[in-house]
């Protein structure tokens, strides 16, 4: 019986990101680092080129079996030395004796982690682009779809659904910018030995570090103890937490707008087969958006242990190791998962312009109080006087359950300054969305230029 415990193993995440952080991928990356180190030694004349070639040929799970690495680790209780021994066994001749020359465990572990994070960020970048493209299309489609703006959970003034999505799209653009800027800091390896001096590599230590970085296509940290500075991993988890928080914000808005008393958007629902509730057969729940919110909260929970993993004794201790086996892969897998789900929600979102207009009308024109107040100021009334007059008329409309327009038409002070035609124009919701359409256009152009 397969005793799976973690939901990531059987419920959340997709295989592409899970593969990046699988045990097999971790071993493969470590083999690649060891091989790059051997080639650097060979280029500098420290070891025979033939030995480096053999080490490079055998830098594969085809030759270095994870089962053999595990078997050795159970005996010696050291994961990197287990890998080195299994790797040495796989090499023909005496090439194996040159593996890991001058290195310490975290030269290999941290540099391999940098390669894994590089692969993870490649996937996350593509996820962000896909989500942004979907949101861009939605913003353009609903550029001028008028809906009720809400502040404090109350009716505010008109907005457009396109602007709402454009605000979110611009946030995704900033996340994409942050990811690209942070990539070289996050994906940095190290090759400076036991305490960061490079003594084990001799006079060519700095050149070895440079060559290994070039071989692997990543930056190498300039100054370290035995470990790469964990501020880099904190930045990764912080970036992921920031993105996850945006996704939770978007999903929360979808959940609210899907409420039956609002009913302006809805997640896709398979009416033929999908079940909303085990007892309430009528239910159509925003389950994907709810799932995004829940997983975003779990993801952010990894930020604290990752921060605490930066606080180590002297040049290193092992308190970070066990925590990071959770924080880094779980963060990446969960972020990829909810990015895909958010894109799916927006791509299949049912937008209901008729219900948006219905909710605007439910305000009985009160949401246009600001528009009327400002129109009065253009006619010479002081701003404070106009505010008080419209406040009184709004309260009267609320008390009578009447439309604000009717109160305006009844008011002698209003009719002295505004004609019925002007009142009709001012009270049209579509005439009070400001520069919303232009802002949508600007955000979309910025996205398309920088995605």
Q: What is the pLDDT of residues 304-338, one digit of tens each?
A: 999 999 999 999 999 999 999 999 999 999 999 99
**Strand, coil or helix: 266:** strand
Strand partners, 350: 266
Each residue's pLDDT, cut to its tens digit, for the chain (451 residues) gives: 678 899 999 899 999 999 999 999 999 999 999 999 999 999 999 999 999 999 999 999 999 999 999 999 999 999 999 999 999 999 999 999 999 999 999 999 999 999 999 999 999 999 999 999 999 999 999 999 999 999 999 999 999 999 999 999 999 999 999 999 999 999 999 999 999 999 999 999 999 999 999 999 999 999 999 999 999 999 999 999 999 999 999 999 999 999 999 999 999 866 556 656 445 545 578 999 999 999 999 999 999 999 999 999 999 999 999 999 999 999 999 999 999 999 999 999 999 999 999 999 999 999 999 999 999 999 999 999 999 999 999 999 999 999 999 999 999 999 999 999 999 999 999 999 999 999 999 999 999 999 9
Cα 85 to Cα 69, 98, 106, 148: the distances in Å are: 8, 11, 16, 67
**What is the rounded distance in angstroms from the CA atom of residue 423 to the CA atom of residue 428?**
9
Q: Which tokens hold the place of 446?
A: 């910025």
Quote the pTM value.
0.94
Determine the topology of domain 12-98 in CATH. Fumarase C; Chain B, domain 1 (1.10.275)
Q: What is the pLDDT of residue 162?
A: 98
Q: Among the residues of 21-160, which ranges form H helices?
A: 23-43, 49-57, 66-76, 79-90, 105-141
The helix or strand, by DSSP H or E, that contains position 159, with its residue range, turns out to be strand 154-160
The helix or strand, by DSSP H or E, that contains position 375, with its residue range, turns out to be helix 369-378
The DSSP code sequence of 167-178 is: HHHHHHHHHHHH
Q: What is the pLDDT of residue 276?
A: 62
Q: What is the pLDDT of residue 4?
A: 87
Q: Which tokens hold the place of 57?
A: 């040929």
Beta strands in 177-324 (DSSP E): 188-189, 219-220, 265-266
Q: Among the residues of 142-230, which ranges form H helices?
A: 161-186, 205-216
The helix or strand, by DSSP H or E, that contains position 444, with its residue range, turns out to be helix 436-450
88 belongs to the catalytic site:
no
Catalytic, out of 56, 175, 238, 277 = 277
> Do the strands 154-160 and 188-189 form a parallel or antiparallel pair, or are they unpaired?
unpaired
pLDDT digits (tens, 9 = 90+) for 193-217: 999 999 999 999 999 999 999 999 9
Q: Which tokens hold the place of 55?
A: 């080490």
Catalytic, out of 22, 100, 142, 152 = 152
Instruction: Return the CATH class of domain 111-141+151-189+223-268+282-358.
Output: mainly alpha
**Strand, coil or helix: 146:** strand
**What is the rounded distance in angstroms from the CA atom of residue 147 to the CA atom of residue 164?**
10
The helix or strand, by DSSP H or E, that contains position 414, with its residue range, turns out to be helix 412-415
**What is the rounded distance in angstroms from the CA atom of residue 9 to the CA atom of residue 144?**
44
**What is the rounded distance in angstroms from the CA atom of residue 52 to the CA atom of residue 95?**
7
Q: Which tokens hold the place of 409?
A: 């038409």
Topology agreement, domain 12-98 and domain 111-141+151-189+223-268+282-358: no
**What is the rounded distance in angstroms from the CA atom of residue 85 to the CA atom of residue 284?**
57
**What is the rounded distance in angstroms from the CA atom of residue 19 to the CA atom of residue 5?**
18
Q: What is the pLDDT of residue 271?
A: 54
Determine the topology of domain 361-450 in CATH. Ribonucleotide Reductase Protein R1; domain 1 (1.10.40)
309 belongs to the catalytic site:
no
Strand partners, 441: none
Radius of gyration of the chain (CA): 30
The helix or strand, by DSSP H or E, that contains position 351, with its residue range, turns out to be strand 350-351
**What is the rounded distance in angstroms from the CA atom of residue 60 to the CA atom of residue 64?**
6
Strand partners, 22: none
**What is the rounded distance in angstroms from the CA atom of residue 425 to the CA atom of residue 429?**
9
- Per-position b or e across 120-136, b if 16+ CB within 10 A of its CB: bbebbbebbebbbbbbb
Cα 139 to Cα 131, 133, 168, 243, 365: the distances in Å are: 12, 10, 10, 20, 26
Q: Is 354 exposed, middle or buried (0-12, 13-18, 19+ CB in 10 A)?
A: exposed
- Each domain of the chain, given as residue ranges in start order, spans 12-98, 111-141+151-189+223-268+282-358, 361-450
């Amino acid at each position: 019986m397969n005793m799976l415990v973690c939901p990531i193993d059987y419920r959340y995440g997709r295989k592409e990101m899970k593969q990046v952080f699988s045990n097999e991928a971790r071993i493969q990356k470590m083999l690649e680092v060891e091989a790059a180190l051997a080639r650097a030694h060979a280029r500098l004349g420290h070891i025979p080129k033939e030995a480096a070639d053999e080490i490079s040929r055998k830098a594969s799970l085809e030759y270095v079996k994870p089962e053999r690495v595990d078997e050795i680790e159970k005996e010696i209780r050291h994961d990197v030395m287990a890998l080195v021994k299994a790797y040495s066994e796989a090499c023909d001749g005496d090439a194996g004796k040159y593996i890991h020359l001058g290195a310490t465990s975290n030269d290999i572990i941290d540099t391999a982690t940098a390669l894994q994070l590089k692969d993870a960020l490649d996937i996350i970048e593509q996820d962000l682009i896909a989500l942004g493209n979907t949101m861009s299309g939605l913003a353009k489609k609903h550029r001028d779809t008028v809906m009720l703006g809400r502040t404090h959970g109350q009716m505010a003034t008109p907005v457009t659904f396109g602007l709402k999505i454009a605000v979110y799209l611009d946030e995704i653009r900033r996340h994409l910018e942050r990811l690209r800027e942070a990539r070289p800091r996050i994906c940095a390896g190290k090759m400076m030995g036991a305490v960061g001096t490079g003594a084990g590599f001799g006079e060519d230590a700095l050149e070895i570090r440079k060559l290994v970085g070039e071989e692997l296509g990543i930056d190498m940290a300039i100054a370290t103890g035995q470990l790469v500075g964990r501020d880099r991993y904190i930045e990764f988890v912080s970036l992921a937490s920031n993105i996850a928080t945006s996704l939770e914000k978007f999903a929360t808005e979808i959940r609210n707008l899907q409420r039956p008393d609002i009913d302006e958007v809805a997640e896709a629902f398979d009416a033929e087969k999908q079940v909303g509730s085990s007892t309430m057969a009528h239910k159509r729940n925003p389950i994907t958006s709810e799932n995004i919110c829940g997983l975003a909260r779990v993801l952010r929970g990894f930020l604290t242990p990752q921060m605490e993993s930066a606080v180590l004794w002297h040049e290193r201790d092992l308190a970070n190791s066990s925590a990071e086996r959770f924080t880094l892969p779980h963060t990446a897998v969960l972020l990829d998962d909810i990015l895909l789900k958010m894109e799916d929600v927006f791509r299949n979102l049912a937008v209901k312009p008729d219900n948006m207009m219905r909710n605007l009308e439910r305000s009985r024109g009160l949401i246009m109080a600001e528009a009327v107040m400002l129109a009065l100021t253009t006619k010479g009334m002081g701003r404070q006087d106009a505010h008080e007059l419209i406040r009184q008329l709004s309260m009267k409309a609320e008390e009578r359950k009447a439309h604000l327009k009717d109160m305006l038409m009844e008011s002698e002070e209003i009719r002295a300054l505004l004609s019925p035609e002007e009142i009709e124009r001012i009270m049209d919701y579509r005439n009070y969305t400001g520069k919303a359409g232009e802002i949508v256009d600007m955000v979309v152009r910025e996205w398309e230029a920088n995605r």
